[in-house]
Amino acid sequence: MSQPILSSRPSDEISDSEEPLLSGRIKQQIRRDKWTQLVLFVWAVVATVGVVVVSVFYQNAGNEPAQTKFPPSGKRNVIFMVSDGMGPTSLHVTRSWKQYTDDLPYDKTLFLDKHIIGTSRTRSSNSLVTDSAAGATAFSCGKKSYNGAISVLPDHSPCGTVLEAAKKAGYKTGLVVTTRITDATPACFSAHVNMRSEEDRIAEQQIGDYPLGRVVDLMLGGGRCHFLPSSTPDGESCRNDDRDIINEAQTKFGFSYVSNRAGFDTLHKGKNVSLPLLGLFAKTDIPYEIDRKDKDYPALWEMAEAAITALSDATKDSDQGFFIMVEGSRIDHAGHANDPVAQVREVLAYDKTFKKMVEWAEKSDVQTVVVSTSDHETGGLTAARQLHAEYPDYLWYPSVLNNATHSGEYLATQLATFPHLDDEKKLDRFIRKEILVEGLGVLDASEDEVKRLKDTKTSASYTLSDIVSRRAQIGWTTHGHSGVDVNIYGIGPALAKLSGNHENTDIGKFIRDYLELDLEAITKELTHKGIKNADEDLSWMGKSLADITENPNWITNQVDCYHGEFKREVRGVLHPCAHQPHPQ
C-alpha cells in the first residue's frame, strides 16, 4: 500500500493541537475585560437590527437578485474545461508571445485573462506534486486520491463521479480531448481503475462494460488504438487482447462511430449526430496545434462546438441539460517535452475554445456554467533564464518561438525516420537545413548543438526543445509536474463559489452542488455491483488490492511509465512498462 507522505485528511479533521504545527502560530487565550464584552454586545445588537432592516427593505423592494440562489432552479448545463499542465507562467508566455506576434499593446490580453476568478491547490493524497489521475479524481469525485488513481480512493474503492451521477439524474454527458480518450483526465469521469496505465480496461468501461452500464453519450478525441483488437494490422492496435471495443460499442451499446476528419465532417458541426457517439480521430494523440493539419484532424474548438451543439440539441425537450468535460490535453505534453514552441499554440487553442464555450453559454437560454482549471503545472516553466555566470538581463525573447514551424516532437520524428541516418554527410545536411533552419527557425546553431542532435538522433525531442528554450531564455526545472497553484476561470455562479484560493476537490464539489448530484449513491452502487460482479477483490478495476499490497512498488513503477523516461533514467531502474502509450 502506498503510504501518504503527508496527511491527506481534510482540514476539518485537523485538531487544535496540530494546528500550531501547520500554521506556525501558537493559539493564545485572549482575555477580554468586561468593558470589551459590553461594547461587543452592544455592537452585536446594533448590527443584527441593521441586517434585519436592510433585508426587509430589499425584500419589499423586490430587489433580491434571482441568480444569487445556489444552486439555481430550472434546467442547467455544465461545461467543465481542463487545461492539463497549464500553470500561471504558460499564460504570461502565451500572452506575451501573441502580443509580440500580432503587434498588440500590452493590455491586449487573452480571453482567459478576463475570466480569472481564483486559484487551485493541487496536491494529491500521496504527493505534494499531483499527476493528472489524482488531479482529475479531485474534479470528478471531489476527493483526494493517490497519483495514478482513476476515480478510486486511497483504499482502492471506487468513488462515484459527477458524470456518472449526472447521467443517472437524466443529463446528457460528453468528453472532448486532444489526447487519448482513455488518458487519465477523461478516464476519471467515466471509469474506475486502480492505475491509469490500465487503458484497455478504461476503454471497455467507457463504452459501458462495467457495473453502471453506459454513462457517456459522446466521446471525441484520440486513442483509437486502445479500442482496436491486437490482431489489427499495421500496428494500429495497442491493446493487450483481441477484443474489438469499437465493434462492441456499436453492437452492444448502440454507439455511432467516426474515425477521421471525413467522419467528423459528416457530423455537420454537431447538427447531424446520433447519440451515443464515439469519435476517435487519432491512433494515440491528436497532433499538437502547430503540427495539426485541418484536412486531417479536427481542432479542439471544433470538437467542443460540435459536442455542445449535439448535447444541447439532444436535451432541448428535457428538464435536464448536459455535463461536458473539454480538455486541452496536450499543454501538458508540451510541458513534459519542455517545448515552448508547441505550448504557446496549445494554450492559444485552449483560449479560443474557452472563448467559444463562454460565448455559447452566454447566448444559451439554458443556464450554463463554464468552469476552467488545470490539474497541475507541468515543466516548472519560468519566463527568464540565467544562461551564464554573469547577472542576467531581465528579459526573454518571444520572437524565437515565432521562428519555428513545428514542435520538437514532430521534428524529432522527422529526424528519427530520416532514411539516411547512417550517412554522416547527408545527416549533417539534413540536421542543419531541414531540422534547424526550416523546422526550428534557428539560423545560428553551434557546432556543439549539431553534435548533440546527431548524438540523440533517434530521440531528439528534449535536445530540440532545449535549443529553442535557451535562445528564448525560457527556463524549465523539470520534465515532470510541479506543485504550483493553478488558475481557476469561470462565469456565472462559479464566480461567487470558486473565487479565491481553493482545494482542487472544491471544483468537483462545485459541479456536484450546481447540478444537485448524489455522488454517494453512485459510490454505493459501484461498490455493491462491483463486488457482486467479481468475487476476487473488485477485479473489474484492474490490478486488485491484494496484488498491489503484495508489490508496494507497483504504483510507483506504473506512474514512472507515464511521461517518465527521464525519471526512470535518473532512478537507474529501467523496469519494464506494460506498454508505452507515448511512442515518442
- What does the binding site for ligand NAG look like in residue numbers (CB under 6 A)? 256, 266, 268, 272, 274, 400, 403, 441-444, 471
Q: Does 528 carry a binding-site annotation?
A: no
Q: Would you say 463 is a known binding-site residue? A: no
Beta strands 172-180 and 322-328 are: parallel
> Quick check: 332 binds Zn ion (CB under 5 A)?
yes
Choice between 257 and 566, CB closer to Zn ion: 566
* 199 annotated to bind ligand: no
- Strand 486-490 to strand 367-373: parallel, antiparallel, or no bridges (unpaired)? antiparallel
Task: Please say which residue, 294 or 444, places its beta carbon nearer to ligand NAG.
Answer: 444
| Residue with Cβ nearer Zn ion (175 or 306) | 175
Identify what 429 binds: Zn ion, ligand NAG, none; CB under 5 to 8 Å per kind.
none
Cβ atoms of 126 and 147 within 8 Å: the answer is yes
Q: Minimum CB separation from ligand NAG for residue 15, in Å?
A: 57
Q: Which long-range contacts (CB under 8 A, 24 or more apart) does 308-311 make?
A: 308/77, 308/79, 308/174, 308/270, 308/357, 308/360, 309/269, 309/270, 309/271, 309/273, 310/174, 310/218, 310/267, 310/270, 310/271, 310/273, 310/275, 310/277, 311/77, 311/172, 311/173, 311/174, 311/217, 311/218
Which residues lie closer than 8 Å to 80 by C-beta, 6 or more apart?
139, 323, 324, 325, 326, 370, 371, 372, 511
Question: Which of 243-251, 397-405, 485-493, 557-565 is the region at the interface with Zn ion (rule: CB under 5 A)?
Answer: 557-565
Which entry of ligand NAG, Zn ion, none binds 269, CB below 5 to 8 A by partner kind? none
- Residue 480 CA to its chain's centroid (Å): 14
Q: Pick what 232 binds: ligand NAG, Zn ion, none; C-beta below 5 to 8 Å, kind-dependent.
A: none
Grid coordinates standing for 407? 514542435
> Residue 375, annotated ligand binder?
yes
Selection from Zn ion, ligand NAG, none that 471 binds (CB < 5 to 8 A by kind) is ligand NAG
Provide the terminal-to-terminal Cα distance of the chain, rounded to the nearest Å: 31
Q: Which residue do the cell numbers 476552467 mark?
A: 372
Measured CA to CA in angstroms, residue 269 lies from 149, 306, 382, 466 at distances of 34, 4, 38, 39
The distance of closest approach from Cβ of residue 374 to Zn ion in the complex, given in angstroms and rounded to an integer, is 11
Least spacing, CB of residue 532 vs ligand NAG, in Å: 36
Torsion of CA 49, 50, 54, 55, to 10 degrees: -50
Burial of 52 (0-12, 13-18, 19+ CB in 10 A): exposed
Under the criterion CB under 5 A, does residue 327 sit at the interface with Zn ion? no
Would you say 122 or 413 has its CB closer to Zn ion? 122
Q: Count helices and strands (H / E) in the chain.
A: 23, 12
**C-alpha distances in angstroms, 306 versus 76, 356, 551?**
19, 11, 45
For residue 207, what is its C-alpha cell? Answer: 463504452
| Residue with Cβ nearer ligand NAG (150 or 267) | 267
User: Side chain identity at 285, as an amino acid letter?
Assistant: D
Task: For residue 266, give the DSSP letter.
Answer: T
DSSP SS3 for 498: helix
Residue 550 is assigned to a ligand binding site: no
Q: How far is the CB of 228 from ligand NAG (least distance, A)?
A: 21
- The SS3 assignment for 158 reads strand
| Residue nearer to ligand NAG on the CB measure, 336 or 471 | 471
Amino acid 25 reads R
- Alpha-carbon span 113 to 562, nearest angstrom: 31
286 binds, among ligand NAG, Zn ion, none (CB under 5 to 8 A by kind): none
Query: Would you call 132 a catalytic residue per the annotation?
Result: yes
Q: Label the pairing between strands 116-121 and 486-490.
A: antiparallel
Choose between 403 and 527: whose C-beta lies nearer to ligand NAG.
Answer: 403
CB of 412 to ligand NAG, least distance (A): 19
* 13 annotated as belonging to a binding site for a ligand: no
332 binds, among Zn ion, ligand NAG, none (CB under 5 to 8 A by kind): Zn ion
Nearer to ligand NAG (CB atom), residue 442 or residue 494: 442
Residue 401 CB, nearest approach to ligand NAG (Å): 10
Residues 428-467 that bind Zn ion (CB under 5 A): none
Q: Is 183 in the site for Zn ion (CB under 5 A)?
A: no
Nearer to ligand NAG, 267 or 361 (CB): 267
User: Which range binds Zn ion by CB under 5 A, 96-104, 332-340, 393-401, 424-432?
Assistant: 332-340
Which residues pair with residue 221 across a beta bridge?
Answer: 280
Question: Is 183 marked as binding a ligand?
Answer: yes
18 labelled as ligand-binding?
Answer: no
Contact 547, 554 (CB under 8 A): yes
| Residue of 2, 83, 125, 132 marked active site | 132
Three-state secondary structure string covering 472-484: HCCECCCCCEECC
Cα distances from 431 to residues 338, 411, 412, 435, in angstroms, run 20, 10, 10, 5
Tell me whether residue 481 is annotated as binding.
yes
CB of 504 to ligand NAG, least distance (A): 38
Q: Are 431 and 446 in contact (CB under 8 A)?
A: no
Beta bridge partners of 501: 119
Contacts of 374 (CB under 8 A, 6+ apart): 82, 83, 84, 85, 86, 87, 120, 122, 331, 486, 487
CB of residue 373 to ligand NAG, shortest distance in Å = 34
Binder of residue 272, out of ligand NAG, Zn ion, none (CB less than 5 to 8 A by kind): ligand NAG
Distance of closest approach, residue 570 Cβ to Zn ion, in angstroms:
17
How many residues touch Zn ion (CB under 5 A)? 2
SS3 track for 31-93: CCCHHHHHHHHHHHHHHHHHHHHHHHHHHHCCCCCHHHCCCCCCCEEEEEEEECECCHHHHHH
Measured from the CB of residue 466, what is the shortest distance to ligand NAG in angstroms?
14
Closest to Zn ion by CB, 217 vs 332, is 332
* Binding site members for Mg(2+): 84, 183, 185, 327
Sites of contact with Zn ion (CB under 5 A) = 332, 563
* Binding site members: 84, 183, 185, 327, 332, 336, 375-376, 481
| Residues belonging to the active site | 132
* Binding site members for Zn(2+): 84, 332, 336, 375-376, 481
